[in-house]
Amino acid sequence: MATQPNQALPNGYRLNEYTIIRKIGGGGFSMVYLARDDANQSVAIKEYLPGALVLRTEGSVVVQASSTENNNIFRHGMKCFFEEGRALARIDHPNVVRVVNFFRANDTVYMVMRFERGKTLQQHIQANRGSIRESFIRRVFAQLLNGLREVHTHKLLHLDLKPSNLYIRLDGSPVLIDFGAARQTLTQEESKLQPMYTPGFAAPEQYHNRERLGPWTDIYSVGASLYASLAGYPPQAADARLLNDKLVPATVNWRGAYSDQLLETIDSCLKLNYMERPQSVFSLQKVLMDRSAMMPPRSSLLSSLRRQLNRELF
């Protein structure tokens, strides 16, 4: 079913103790707003709004399912979204987005998060394509893995790790945002929903064999995000790789530009067989924190030539 053109909540709308400033993001599953609370603190509010199931028309704030059948699926998903908010609210870690409130309104549910200032890793990749230093990659991902370890400790999976969901604050510290866990619980009636994965970053078991989801699933996405940091684009999608694997290994693509250890780590994270990947975030983090294996800084001339070649190729 095609996604419905849902209307966002209007600017200035009063939602419990929050005032909507403007819509700042969203897709087929939710909308995200910048808002302010009664203490004039900025927050981000995520609204459960799967366009394949519900519709909010112009001039209305209430969400309505597009059919009786869709209403049942929507209600189940709303419960999962609410439970996700409850679970994330128990996590207080500097590298995980802080959920400060969750509530029901307008016949749907909302998750209120601390508003972070900075930019996504995706924006950083686009601005520095072909010239991202290994020291930056190791620092950012090692810190992000601190947050992911905390998530896994709470028996949760992120399931939507990608550069656009990895945020870098103004002080340079990274934070995990926009979890996909609630979407992943909607295993029934999958055909009614938007894809629950991001091609290129989703592990093979997110397409099939979902009973095999585990920490290694997020680790595949970490590997794909590392690969994208070097390439400037995602690796070949896992479902396509299962049919005809054309992914050029990191150890081939960037040999001599980055340390063998880093490149081998990326390739191990991107193994199609989940049992061949690192099985825990801790084991992966130890490798990334081993700065003794880093390549020495490249000369400015070599870096310039490499960036020029990358632009010509891609």
Q: What is the pLDDT of residue 189?
A: 44
Do residues 136 and 249 both lie within one domain? yes
Residues making up the binding site: 46
Do residues 101 and 205 both lie within one domain? no
Do residues 156 and 91 both lie within one domain? no
Range of the domain at 250: 118-162+198-313
pLDDT single digits (tens) 197-213: 789 999 999 988 878 89
- Entry pTM: 0.86
The proportion of the chain whose per-residue pLDDT surpasses 70, expressed as a percent, equals 87
Q: Are strands 118-120 and 54-55 parallel, antiparallel or unpaired?
A: unpaired
pLDDT single digits (tens) 134-164: 999 999 999 999 999 999 998 888 989 999 9
CATH number at residue 151: 1.10.510.10
Q: What is the pLDDT of residue 187?
A: 42
Do residues 137 and 210 both lie within one domain? yes
How far is Cα 65 from Cα 70, in angstroms, rounded to an integer?
Answer: 6
Do residues 155 and 294 both lie within one domain? yes
Count structural domains, the chain: 2
Do residues 152 and 280 both lie within one domain? yes
Look up residue 156 and give its two tokens.
């949760």
Q: Are 203 and 220 in contact (CB under 8 A)?
A: yes
How far is Cα 243 from Cα 15, in angstroms, rounded to an integer?
Answer: 48
Q: Is residue 29 part of a domain?
A: yes
Q: What is the pLDDT of residue 5?
A: 66
User: Would you give per-residue pLDDT tens digits along the chain (314 residues)?
Assistant: 445 568 899 999 999 999 999 999 887 788 999 999 999 999 999 999 988 899 898 888 999 998 888 998 899 888 888 888 888 899 999 999 999 999 999 999 999 999 999 999 999 999 998 789 999 999 999 999 999 999 999 888 898 999 999 999 999 999 998 886 545 544 444 444 445 678 999 999 998 887 889 999 999 999 999 999 999 999 999 999 999 999 999 999 999 999 999 999 999 999 999 999 999 999 999 999 987 878 765 544 455 455 455 545 54
Q: Is residue 186 part of a domain?
A: no
Residues making up the binding site for ATP: 46
Q: What DSSP letter does each residue of the chain carry, written as one string?
A: -PPP-PPPPPTT-EETTEEEEEEEEE-SSEEEEEEE-TT--EEEEEEE--TTTEE--TT----EESSHHHHHHHHHHHHHHHHHHHHHHT---TTBPPEEEEEEETTEEEEEEE---EEEHHHHHHHTTT---HHHHHHHHHHHHHHHHHHHHTT------SGGGEEEETTS-EEE----HHHHT--TTGGGS--SS-TTTS-GGGTS-GGG-SHHHHHHHHHHHHHHHHHSSPPPPHHHHHHS--PPPHHHHTBTTB-HHHHHHHHHHT-SSGGGS-SSHHHHHHHHT-GGGPPPPPPHHHHHHHHHHHHHH-
Do residues 93 and 142 both lie within one domain? no
Q: What share of the chain is helix, strand, coil (3-state, %, to 5)?
A: 40, 20, 40
Q: What is the identity of the amino acid at 254?
A: W
